[in-house]
Amino acid sequence: MILFTKMQGCGNDYVYINNDIEKVQNMSEFTKKVSNRNFGIGSDGCIFIFKDDEADIAFRIFNADGSEAKMCGNGIRCVAKYAYEKGIVRKKKMSINTMSGIKNVEVYVENGIVKNVKVNMGIPDFNTKRLQINYPKDVLINERFDILDTKLYLTCVSVGNLHTVVFVDNVDNFNIEKYGSAIEKLSIFKDRTNVEFVEVIDRENIKVRVWERGVGETLACGTGATASVIAGYLNGVTESICNVILKGGKIEIVYNEINNELSMIGTAEIVYEGKLY
């Protein structure tokens, strides 16, 4: 029997497990079974939480197909809520270790319940060599590609995970499945990419649909929202503070031009808890 907590941030849902207690060994295979929405719990993946020597808490995240991701913006907000409300880390400012480094997080609490979480997402990385992108330039920003039957302009950035941002006129009517899958699997990406399709409403508001590597279209992605704003800022279409409207909700992204760091503010919710046999 394994105790689990189902949580979501803007509809990006994961199964959360305290692995110091449950001690799941084969996390990848476990995640594939548990994430199945017909025969398992149903989720975008699993997040395993454990104590850490370098930070207050740490986690590993696996997508529904069993592949491991380095970071998840919606996931880390839920990890902070989980750790605080369950008394694992009873601090409003905490450090969380991820596969992409230690992130500093602040929880905003009302009557013992975490209502919002602010995450320091760090400094965006555009270097194609570090991102393992096979491309002749040092950065890939607003570059034209022939994708299937159309021309699209791609911007690549990592904010813990690699994301490719594409600006479109009407994101609701855009064929996300067709082009998201094609971009994800472009040969220039060594380990595939996440894809965000972005419609600019105005300079302080954008609408985003997410094609997540190893999952498909999801309701939200925190790192994807962050990547969309910094891509918009670099391409001159958004301000440094911008609201990201996703299918599952809204996230605020702040880009600090002085220290080049990004922050994300959003909610985290517990859906239910249970026992898996």
Where in the sequence numbering do the catalytic residues fall? 72, 221
Q: Are 59 and 98 in contact (CB under 8 A)?
A: yes
| Whether the Cβ atoms of residue 261 and residue 119 lie closer than 8 Å to each other | no
Q: Which residues contact 202 (CB under 8 A, 6 or more apart)?
A: none
Q: Look at strands 57-63 and 45-50 and give their pairing.
A: antiparallel
Query: Are the C-beta atoms of 61 and 101 separated by less than 8 Å?
Result: no
Counting beta carbons within 10 angstroms of the beta carbon of residue 258, is it exposed (0 to 12), middle (13 to 18) or buried (19 or more)?
exposed
CA-derived radius of gyration, the chain: 18
10 Å Cβ neighbour count for 169?
Answer: 8
Side-chain-side CA neighbours of 202 within 13 Å: the count stands at 1
Pairing of strands 205-212, 241-246: parallel
